[in-house]
C-alpha cells in the first residue's frame, strides 16, 4: 500500500467535502489533546513539528512516509497529528526505547495508521465489533496456532500445496509478485485459519482478492476521518462482510456435518470465539502473515536471479542440504524434499548462504514505518519522551537499514555485509530490525523462514530463472527500493521471472 499524492486526488470529492466542513470542525481538530501546548504538564512531550498544515495535520506523511519522518525527526523525536490522531515520530537515537517498551500495542497502531479501525478508543472498537486484539487474546491464539507441533502435524499438507503450485509452472514467464502471494496465502490459511478453506484454491484466491481490495481502499481520507462513510470506507466494510460470509459458511457447513476437525478454525471455536471474532482474528493474522512474506519471497528470488554468483551458491547449498536427508537422486524431488523435518529448515546455520542472502533482502526491502499505540490507560515514558494515552508512536526502519553510517552502500544488495568478517549488523545496537526486535519480535519468524526457504528451494532447483521486464527484456538489476511506502510493497516498475525447467 502506497499513499501518494494521486491517492488523495482519487478520493478528491470526499476530501473536498470534508475540507469544506473544516471551519465547523476546528474545535475538534485544532491539535489533538495531549500534544497541544497548554494542555497539562508537557515538559517531556516532544516538540511539535513545523511540517504540518493547520487543523488537518501533517498530510506530508502520506505523500512520503520516509521523507516526512526523516525530516521531522532529524534532530530528535517530534510530535505531529493526523486530524484527531495524536502521533510521535521517534528518531534513530530512540530506537532502543521503541523496541524495548512492552506496554504498547503494535496491532492497534497498525490498524489505525492503515485505516483498519474507526477510532483510537479500544472501548469504541469493541462496541463496533472490530477489536483486532480480541481483548488482548489474539497474541495468545496466534502463538498457539503456530506452535511447532501444530506446524509439524500439517507438514505433509504444506509440502503438497507448495510443490503442486511451484512444480507446475513449466517453461513460462510469471509475475512473481502475483504467483508467490497465492501460495503463501494458502500456506498461512492452512496454519492459522481453516483446513477447509485452504483445501479450496478458489476460496483462497477469493479471500486474497479481498485483502487486495482492503489494501486499495485504505486512503488518506480513511485514516484521517475514519468515521466518514465515504466510498472507500463503505468498500472496506463490504469486503470485510465478504470475508465474514466465507468464514460463516465454513463454520455452518462444519456444524451441519457434525465435524470436529483438528484445525485452526476448530481451535478458535473451542476457545469460544464467535464467527465475527474468528473473522477479526483471521483478517489480522493473515495480514500480518502475508504483508511482508508475500513481497519478500518474490523479491528474494529476484535478488538471487540478478546476482548469478549467489544464485549458483544458493542452488548448490540447497542441493547439498536435500541430499543430506535424501541422498537418492533417482527419487522425485517432491519425495526427497518431504524427508526434511520442520526443525531442519529453520535451524540456525543449516543454510548459511541462504540465510545471509535472505537477511540482506529483508534489510534492503523492509523500508516502512513501524507503529505502536499507547493503549495502557496512562501516560508512559519512551526514550525520554512523554507518550500520552492514545498516542501512536512511529519509527521508520530506514533510520537503521539504510543508514550509511551503519551499512556500507546501504541501497546495494550485498549479503557479504553479514559475514563474520564484516558483521556490519553487529557493530551498532539494533542495526537490523527486519524480524522485529527487543520486546516486539516477530512471533511468526520461524514459520515465515520455513515458507521462504521451502519456496525458494523449489524455485531454484526446478527452474533456471531470469529477471525480465513486462516486455520480456532482461533486467540486470532490480528497480530501486522505494523508501516511502506504508508497507513492504512490490517494485513500482513491473518485474517478471522467465523460467525454464531444469528437469
Residue numbering of the annotated binding site for heme: 442
Q: Are 18 and 225 in contact (CB under 8 A)?
A: yes
* Residue 271: CB atoms within 10 Å: 15
CA distance 342 to 409: 35
CA distance 83 to 461: 51
Nine cell digits for residue 40: 497539562
Instruction: Provide the CB-side half-sphere exposure for 222 (13 A, CA).
Output: 25
Closest CA to 253 of 177, 325, 195, 176: 195
List the beta bridge partners of residue 394: 89, 371
Residues contacting residue 133 through CB under 8 Å, at least 6 positions apart: 105, 107, 108, 122, 139
Burial 441-475 (b: 16+ CB within 10 A, else e): ebebebbbbbbbbbbbbbbbbbbebbbbeeeeeeb
Q: What is the DSSP letter of 414?
A: -
CA distance 36 to 45: 10
Nine cell digits for residue 503: 528437469
Rg from Cα positions in the chain: 23
The contacts found for 341-347 with CB under 8 angstroms, 24 or more apart, are 341/152, 341/155, 342/148, 342/151, 342/152, 342/155, 342/450, 343/148, 345/449, 345/450, 345/453, 345/454, 346/446, 346/449, 346/450, 346/453
Q: What is the DSSP letter of 426?
A: G
Q: What is the DSSP letter of 54?
A: T
Provide the annotated binding site: 442
Amino acid at each position: 500500500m502506497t499513499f501518494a499524492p494521486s491517492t488523495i486526488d482519487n478520493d478528491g470529492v470526499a476530501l473536498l467535502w470534508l475540507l469544506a466542513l473544516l471551519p465547523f470542525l476546528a474545535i475538534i481538530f485544532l491539535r489533538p489533546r495531549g500534544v497541544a501546548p497548554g494542555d497539562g504538564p508537557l515538559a517531556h512531550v516532544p516538540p511539535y513539528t513545523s511540517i504540518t498544515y493547520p487543523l488537518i495535520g501533517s498530510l506530508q506523511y502520506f505523500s512520503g512516509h520516509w521523507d516526512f519522518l526523516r525530516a521531522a525527526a532529524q534532530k530528535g523525536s517530534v510530535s505531529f497529528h493526523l486530524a484527531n490522531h495524536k502521533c510521535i515520530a521517534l528518531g534513530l537515537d530512540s530506537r532502543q526505547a521503541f523496541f524495548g517498551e512492552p506496554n504498547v500495542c503494535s496491532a492497534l497502531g497498525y490498524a489505525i495508521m492503515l485505516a483498519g479501525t474507526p477510532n483510537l478508543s479500544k472501548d469504541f472498537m469493541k462496541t463496533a465489533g472490530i477489536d483486532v486484539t480480541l481483548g488482548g487474546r489474539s497474541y495468545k491464539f496466534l502463538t498457539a496456532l503456530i506452535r511447532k507441533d501444530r506446524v509439524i502435524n500439517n507438514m505433509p499438507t504444506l509440502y503438497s500445496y507448495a510443490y503442486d503450485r511451484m512444480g507446475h509452472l513449466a517453461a513460462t514467464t510469471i509475475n512473481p509478485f502475483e504467483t508467490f502471494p497465492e501460495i503463501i496465502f494458502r500456506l498461512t490459511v492452512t496454519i492459522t485459519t481453516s483446513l477447509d478453506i485452504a483445501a479450496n484454491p478458489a476460496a483462497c484466491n477469493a479471500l486474497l482478492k479481498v485483502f487486495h481490495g482492503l489494501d486499495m481502499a485504505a486512503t488518506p481520507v480513511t485514516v484521517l476521518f475514519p468515521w466518514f462513510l465515504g466510498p472507500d470506507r463503505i468498500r472496506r466494510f463490504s469486503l470485510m462482510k465478504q470475508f465474514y460470509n466465507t468464514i460463516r459458511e465454513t463454520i455452518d457447513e462444519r456444524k451441519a456435518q457434525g465435524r470436529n476437525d483438528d484445525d485452526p478454525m476448530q481451535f478458535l471455536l473451542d476457545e469460544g470465539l464467535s464467527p465475527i471474532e474468528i473473522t477479526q482474528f483471521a483478517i489480522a493474522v493473515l495480514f500480518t502473515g502475508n504483508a511482508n512474506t508475500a513481497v519478500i519471497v518474490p523479491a528474494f528470488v529476484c535478488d538471487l536471479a540478478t546476482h548469478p554468483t549467489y544464485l549458483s551458491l544458493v542452488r548448490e547449498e540447497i542441493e547439498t542440504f536435500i541430499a543430506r536427508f535424501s541422498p537418492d537422486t533417482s527419487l522425485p524431488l517432491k519425495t526427497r524434499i518431504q524427508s526434511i523435518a520442520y526443525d531442519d529448515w529453520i535451524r540456525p546455520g543449516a543454510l548459511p548462504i541462504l540465510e545471509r542472502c535472505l537477511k540482506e533482502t529483508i534489510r534492503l526491502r523492509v523500508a516502512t514505518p513501524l507503529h505502536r499505540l499507547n493503549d495502557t490507560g496512562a501516560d508512559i515514558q519512551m526514550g525520554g519522551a512523554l507518550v500520552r494515552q492514545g498516542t501512536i508512536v512511529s519509527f521508520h526502519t530506514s533510520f537503521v537499514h539504510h543508514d550509511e553510517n551503519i551499512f556500507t552502500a546501504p541501497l546495494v544488495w550485498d549479503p557479504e555485509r553479514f559475514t563474520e568478517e564484516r558483521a556490519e549488523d553487529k557493530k551498532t545496537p539494533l542495526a537490523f530490525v527486519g524480524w522485529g526486535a527487543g520486546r516486539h519480535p516477530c512471533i511468526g519468524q520461524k514459520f515465515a523462514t520455513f515458507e521462504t526457504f521451502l519456496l525458494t528451494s523449489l524455485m531454484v532447483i526446478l527452474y533456471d530463472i531470469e529477471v525480465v521486464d513486462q516486455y520480456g527484456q532482461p533486467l540486470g538489476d532490480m528497480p530501486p527500493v522505494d523508501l516511502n511506502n506504508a508497507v513492504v510493497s512490490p517494485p513500482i516498475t513491473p518485474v517478471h521471472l522467465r523460467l525454464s525447467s531444469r528437469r
